[in-house]
Amino acid sequence: MYNFDEVIDRRHTNAMNTDGFRGYIFHADDSMTFPYKDEEFIRMWVADMEFATPDVVIDGMRERLDKRIFGYTRVFEKSYYDALAAWCKARYDWSFDRKELVMSNGIIPALFEMVEYICKPDEKVLFLTPSYAYFKYAAEAGNREYVCSDLVYEDGRYSIDFDDFAKKAADEKTSLLILCNPHNPSGRVWTEEELKGLAKIIEENSLWVISDEIHCDLLRCNQKHIPLGKVMPDYQRLVTCMAPSKTFNLAGMMISNVIIRDEGLRSVWLDRHYNFDNPLSIAAAQSAYEKGQPWLEELRVYLDENFRFTQEYLAEHLPKAKFRISEATYLAWVDLNEYFEPDENLPLFFAYKAGVLLEGGNMFVQHSDGFIRLNLACPKATLAEGLRRICEAVNTKHTEKYLGE
């Protein structure tokens, strides 16, 4: 048994979670003040967990520390590939060649590089919205135009608008799709039928695809992830991105797996990418894939219970809120449009009025006004207090718009 109820003090560790919220959420500096002290906030925003990294992973890093030299390092040994390949085969019945695997210091840096490698200056990047904002940022950083295909939102559930997606994919200037599989922020796990529908359109238009599958391990216990590469086994214009960072709370270790099928693109990556890795990150990731499954299975049960508790609490205390339990991720996507106007600043409202740090729909490109995203990867006591504060703030809210202090 693992103790997911333990409350761990993350102050004085240079954590984004505790020290970086002013800049990230509010685009402010340390002079921004609130009615709450920093240590009084319930933090439900950035997508890392409030749980200790598994002991087997920490032990792996300790073993590497005992080697006592930390020179320039890359993944040379086949044992890393073997660990990742065995993980993917066991969980997803999916395989890939060793030569296709390259490493990146995170999926976000990989996205920024890939957009420039794949898209000509006058070409476009397509993604589904609402969207993880860094898909947009990757396009903007490369001075590429981005195109959004809004998901269909009905009765609290999202689905793909295949007609709209096909129309935008058919634009001769659209060359790259960035797919979030499973989807952030909605938590959808795309079905085999949905993935096959996307695959047909992708192949018809010869699109490049980056499939961001970072949340693939964090499924509800009744769900199954299907890699896009499994649905498109022979399609060469496909890049699959996976990482242990979300799964095992290793975001700060900055290590990700980038699986590039196309030899030409892989050659460009190897020529232009700064191709060194943190030796502790390699040890952590390999230990996670080799020994972390028991911890992950208990984590998934705990997260399922947190989602169930959240659903029941919101149904009782905010009955007009629309919320479906996410099929994947540890992120709850909650529709509060019955309580707020579209242009109200929800992160600011909840920070000032509830002492809760969260991300608002305005942070997910478009098609997301009036939503909040809550990180439920926290001890039950923390979750209960956060939800209590959120509901109390909404239920005591005045009828006029909240646009800031």
For residue range 234-251, list pLDDT tens digits in order: 999 999 999 999 999 999
Q: Is the peptide bond before 121 cis (omega within 30 degrees of 0)?
A: no
CA distance 342 to 80: 47
**Token pair listed for 198:** 């996307």
Identity of the amino acid at 316: E
Count of domains observed in the chain: 2
Pair 366, 325: CB distance under 8 Å: no
8 found inside a domain: no
**Same domain for 302 and 280:** no
Average pLDDT over residues 210-225: 98
Average model confidence (pLDDT) for the chain?
A: 96
pLDDT of 155 reads: 87
247 plus 379 within the same structural domain: no
Of the pLDDT bands very low, low, confident and very high (cuts 50, 70, 90), residue 401 is low
Q: In this structure, are strands 124-129 and 174-180 parallel, antiparallel, or unpaired? A: parallel
| pLDDT surpasses 70 at 170 | yes
Q: Both 274 and 298 in a single domain?
A: no
397: confidence class by pLDDT, cuts 50, 70, 90: confident
Shared domain check, 307 and 286: no
Please check whether residues 262 and 273 belong to one and the same domain.
yes
CA distance 184 to 296: 20
The whole-number average pLDDT for the span 75-81 is 97
**Contacts of 120 by beta carbon, 8 Å cutoff, 6+ apart:** 175
Residue 114 half-sphere exposure toward CB, CA atoms < 13 A: 32
* pLDDT of 402 above 90: no
Average pLDDT for residues 256-274, to the nearest whole number? Answer: 96
| Digit-coded pLDDT (tens) for 108-127 | 999 999 999 999 999 999 99
- Whether 287 and 61 have beta carbons less than 8 Å apart is answered as yes
User: Which of 291, 311, 333 marks a domain boundary?
Assistant: 291
The CA dihedral of 215, 221, 222, 228, to the nearest 10 degrees, is 20
Beta-bridged to residue 178, according to DSSP, are: 210
Q: How far is CA 254 from its chain centroid?
A: 14
Query: What residue numbers bound the domain in which 357 lies?
Result: 16-54+294-395
Do 303 and 368 share a structural domain? Answer: yes
346 belongs to a structural domain? yes
The yes-or-no verdict on residue 266 having pLDDT over 90 is yes
The answer to whether 359 touches 212, Cβ cutoff 8 Å, is: no
Q: What is the C-alpha separation between 266 and 259, in angstroms, rounded?
A: 9
Q: Is residue 1 part of a domain?
A: no
Tens of pLDDT, residues 337-355: 999 998 899 999 999 999 9
Predicted local distance difference test score (pLDDT) of residue 405: 64
Residue type, position 324, single letter: R
pLDDT band at 220 (very low <50, low <70, confident <90, very high): very high
How does pLDDT run across 20-30, given as a tens digit for each residue?
Answer: 999 999 999 99
Hunting for tokens 């509010």 — which residue is that?
A: 26
Quote the pLDDT of residue 116.
96
With respect to residue 232, please indicate whether it lies within any of the assigned structural domains: yes
Peptide bond between residue 185 and the one before it cis (omega within 30 degrees of 0): yes
> Does the pLDDT value for residue 404 go beyond 80?
no
Both 172 and 193 in a single domain?
A: yes
The H or E element containing residue 110 is helix 107-118
Residue position matching structure tokens 């191709």: 275
The model's pTM: 0.96
Sign of the CA dihedral with 114 first, then 118, 121, and 125 last: negative
The pLDDT value recorded for residue 56 is: 98
* Residue 400, pLDDT above cutoff 70: no
Can you give the pLDDT at residue 274? 86
Q: Which of 291, 324, 358 is at the close of a domain?
A: 291
State whether 100 and 47 are in the same domain: no
Judge contact between 299 and 4, C-beta under 8 A: yes
**DSSP conformational letter for 167:** H
Same domain, 304 and 287: no
Residue 11 placed within a domain? no
Within this chain, do residues 183 and 263 fall inside the same structural domain, yes or no? yes
**Quick check: is 405 in a domain?**
no
Cα 160 from Cα 94, distance rounded (Å): 24
Q: According to the model, what pLDDT value does residue 403 have?
A: 63
Same domain for 49 and 155, yes or no, is no
For residue 372, being part of any structural domain is answered with yes
* Residue 59 binned pLDDT confidence (cut-offs 50, 70, 90): very high
Task: Look at residue 275 in the predicted model and tell me its pLDDT.
Answer: 84
The CATH number assigned to the domain holding 388 equals: 3.90.1150.10
User: Does residue 4 fall inside a structural domain?
Assistant: no
- Tell me if 146 sits within 8 A of 135, measured CB to CB: yes
pLDDT (tens digit, 9 = 90+) per residue, 94-108? 999 999 999 999 999
Which one of 221, 256, 291 terminates a domain?
291
The DSSP bridge partners found for residue 158 are 153
Q: Tell me, what CATH number does 90's domain have? A: 3.40.640.10
Q: How far is 357 from 348, CA to CA, in rounded Å?
A: 8
DSSP 3-state of 125: strand
Query: Do residue 282 and residue 299 come from a single domain?
Result: no
Torsional class of 193: left (φ above 0), alpha (ψ -120 to 50), beta (otherwise): alpha
